[in-house]
A and B are shown apart, each in its own frame.
Chain A
Amino acid sequence: MSAQLSPPVDAPIATRPLPVRTFWSRALRHRSFVLGGLLSLLVVASALLSLVWTPWSPYEIDIAAKLRPPSAAHWLGTDSFGRDIVSLLLAGARSTILVGIIAVSIGLSFGVCLGLIASAKRGWTEEIIMRFSDFTFAFPAVLSAIMLAAVAGPGMVTSIIAIGIFQIPTLTRLTRGSANAIWAREFVLAARASGKGAFRITIEHVLPNILSILIVQATIQFALAILAEAALSYLGLGTQPPQPSWGRMLNDAQTMLFQSPMLAVYPGAAIAIAVLGLNLLGDGLRDLLDPRLAGER
């Protein structure tokens, strides 16, 4: 059948990033990459914009102006404290991205190191690292955040650490799995035969070859971090007022559900857009960086 027509090429498990020019020309024709990229850019741009300008102050409470409907002055109206919704949404993007970036960095630095060590050392080291990551799976972000909040009190730092810890096992497993595949390849055997040590091989051969897989996963982990941050802030365990955050806005809006239902729609839509954008971007990157996996999910 088709296997007869195009003999299966021994495709590499991970590919190096393609030359820059072909990458972009293919990327710009990739629908989910473009859409995901635009949505993600929108969120990043909002966060950056909020640093220098918001229509109103997101901190200033003006009870007299509470629950205003959308108008020329307040494009999406005001909340129960009289704060401008647009300003809150813009400033909320900031917390979201901040928490996401730090948490994913924690997850990446620990997860990738542990995964690389497990893969390079094998034996007991690998066994211990993998068992450890197994039972870290038993603690979803919300659960670890609850534990941390119980002893250290709720706050942005608590939520960042909790989300970061929750990211580690996934990234450890992924790194170890892809690194093991690279360790079995001929060019690594050749490098070992020429007397290179495990550390040098890891840095020179393994890491560059699993980089594209890690980039894709980091994008998706970022989306998961945003969801977790929103949930924690909603529960009051994450970003604390008056620092604006989308999760917190939803919590405030829920008490006003009967008076002004739209207040509960905007922040949720913002979260969904950010997550959707990152997921699409991740899917697109996967197709572009690693054609073998295209369409697998």
Chain B
Amino acid sequence: MSVFVLRRVLTLLATLVGASVIIFLVLDALPGNAAQMLMGADASPDAVRALTIKLGLDQPLAIRYLQWIKGIVVGDLGNSYVYGTPVASLIAERLVLTVPLAIMSMLITVVLALSAGIYTAANHNKLGDVGVMSLTQVGIALPNFWFAILLVLLFAVRLQWLSAGGFAGWDDGIWLGVKSLLLPSISLAVVQAAILARVTRSAVLEVLREDFVRTARAKGLGKREVLWSHVLRNAMIPVMTVMGLQFANLLAGTIVIENVFYLPGLGRLIFQSIANRDLIVVRNCVMLLAAMVVIVNFVVDVLYAFIDPRIKVHDL
């Protein structure tokens, strides 16, 4: 068990280092690049050079990379080129929105997908199954930002139940914050849930064909009991794998959806920073998103070992 986790931790670290190298190379490879971009094409070379030195961009690539990594370890991400404020606090402000948004949409995704997947598998080839599966086929085809716009059209423009965008914050009570994240998280969740529901359905159907299901039935368990006590835990492995992979899409989705709803989250920050040529902010935001994806998938890997007793022995 511990060897298993240790190996996964090493892979995780290697993956994070690899990702950081790629991000750094793509965004910071050219020494004067950031300064040039900040000042625009017409800036005088002297002014650009001065800014390059001021921002510490004249140092060798490796030194700058190591400084960045050191900063990440000690929690100092440097200052924004544009605002001059610490990048870490800029990001922290935005995470207050993006993290709850991601968690809410993941929760909605899991609840929708598991109930639809289990329902359809239990009613295999019946009317309900065919109906829900056709719906998921359509769901997968919907661009999430378009679905978001349709939700705004319905709930904000037509019914006027919710506002079309903006974030109420958490200071005036949790409900107001949750309410302003409701449409964004639903629009993110529905498309993901359609995919996950199909995965869940086929995973459950696969397990239902296993011999041990018949054994459990031969012991006198009803169909529903077998489904809950024997099938679901076995079916969770592929479902969790896909959930882990979907998390990457979900984070990417928040970037798009925050733009639909004018939400001041991490996605908006990245966008503004691109517009402002604030590369240091972009670099740290992208790294954070990539790290979240990698870590979530690591957690999924480790969770397997808790769900499936076979993995411990197998991987030792």
Residues in chain A within 8 A of chain B (CB atoms): 131-132, 134-135, 137-143, 146-151, 223, 227, 230-231, 234-235, 247, 250, 253-254, 257-258, 261, 264-265, 267-268, 271-273, 275-276, 279-280, 296-297
Contacts and interface: CB of A to CB of B under 8 A. Distances in A.
A125 B9 CA distance: 22
B286 A146 contact: yes
A135 B145 CA distance: 26
B27 interface: yes
Nearest to A264: B149
Nearest to B259: A235
Contact of A268 (B22, B143, B251): B143
B252 A143 contact: yes
B216 interface: no
A250 B149 contact: yes
A116 B200 CA distance: 30
A257 B164 contact: yes
A4 to B, nearest CB: 13
A147 B137 contact: no
- Per DSSP, chain B at the interface is helix
- Which 10 A-B pairs give the minimum distances between C-beta atoms? A268-B146, A140-B252, A276-B141, A275-B141, A142-B252, A138-B290, A135-B15, A138-B293, A272-B141, A150-B282
A146 B15 contact: no
Contact of B270 (A140, A146, A297): A146
Contact of A150 (B146, B199, B256, B274): B274
26 contacts: A131-B11, A131-B18, A132-B18, A142-B252, A142-B255, A143-B289, A147-B26, A150-B27, A150-B273, A151-B27, A151-B279, A223-B141, A230-B146, A231-B144, A234-B143, A254-B149, A257-B153, A257-B164, A261-B157, A264-B146, A264-B149, A267-B146, A268-B147, A272-B142, A275-B141, A280-B137
A247 B143 CA distance: 10
B294 interface: yes
A231 B225 CA distance: 43
Interface of B: 11, 14-15, 18-19, 22-23, 26-27, 33, 137-138, 140-147, 149-150, 152-153, 157, 164, 198-199, 202, 245, 248-249, 251-253, 255-256, 259-260, 270-271, 273-274, 277, 279, 282, 286, 289-291, 293-294, 297
Given A138-B19, A140-B252, A150-B27, 13 more contacts: A135-B18, A137-B293, A140-B249, A142-B252, A143-B289, A146-B282, A148-B26, A254-B260, A257-B149, A271-B143, A272-B142, A272-B146, A280-B137
A272 B27 contact: no
A167 to B, nearest CB: 14
A139 to B, nearest CB: 6
- Per DSSP, chain A at the interface is helix
Contacts of A131: 11, 14-15, 18
